Amino acid sequence: MTIVLIAVVLYLTAAGLLVFQLRQEGTRSLSWLLPALVAVVLHLSAHAMTWRNAGGADLHFFSALSLVALGMAAMTTLYGAAGRMAALGVVVFPIAAALLAAYANYGHVTAEALDWRLQLHAWCALLAYATLAIAALLAITSWLQERALRRREFHGWLRALPPLVELESLLFRTIAVGFVLLSATLLTGVLFVENLFAQHLVHKTVLSVLSWLLFGGLLLGRWRRGWRGETAVRWTLTAMGLLVLAFFGSKFVLEVLLGRA
């Protein structure tokens, strides 16, 4: 719990430093980077220690949420350290802090033995969800930036963002990476998961495939027709919504409400 508490405090400290920068008319500084990096390392350590004590990886509802948040925090830290989109940490770091705290308080269950094939499927899924969640936040940010520029509302936070063209380029590169990971998730599911279309998995499979089709269609539309702006935002958020329902919606019902693994 000490590690978790320190990580939560550091996540919130990093977010607070970023908020301070935004209020200083977009002043850029890396003062947030060290607390964010340490928080990410401690977040990972909290899971590793729990898994070691449990004798295996725990991938149930709260653990999966926390791991996705860890992936989002790690990517946000990398993006920010490279000089891009550190402002995402204002949203991502508090989310990571909250989900880590939820995992520490509610998420520990007996780990189940999974062979390497199912572990590969699970890790591909978690990485895909984390990457595409970052893409959803980038889509919302690009929409807010475009709307502010259209209305000639030159807020200080705009200076903390890259130019709109660069932001959209980053959005589609992130979607492309997430699409590859989601494709790997579906492929390993088909190859390694038994009874993929069983009653308790069919809705998860169908929603995941629909999300995959939407993300693929968006990338194709970007390549062939130059889709951007509100079109890209709508497609991204719709596809991400289906993905959240597919994975966390089904896990919440099965594991939290029904108490089934």
More confident residue, 7 or 55: 7
Q: Indicate if the pLDDT at residue 251 is higher than 80.
A: no
CB 72 within 8 A of CB 90: no
More confident residue, 199 or 74: 74
Q: Indicate if the pLDDT at residue 144 is higher than 90.
A: no
Tokens of 12: 């919130």
Mean of the per-residue pLDDT values of the chain: 85
Rounded percentage of the chain residues whose pLDDT exceeds 70 = 82
**Residue environment code for 53-81, b if the CB has 16+ CB neighbours within 10 A, otherwise e:** eeeebbbbbbbbbbbbbbbbbbbbbebbe
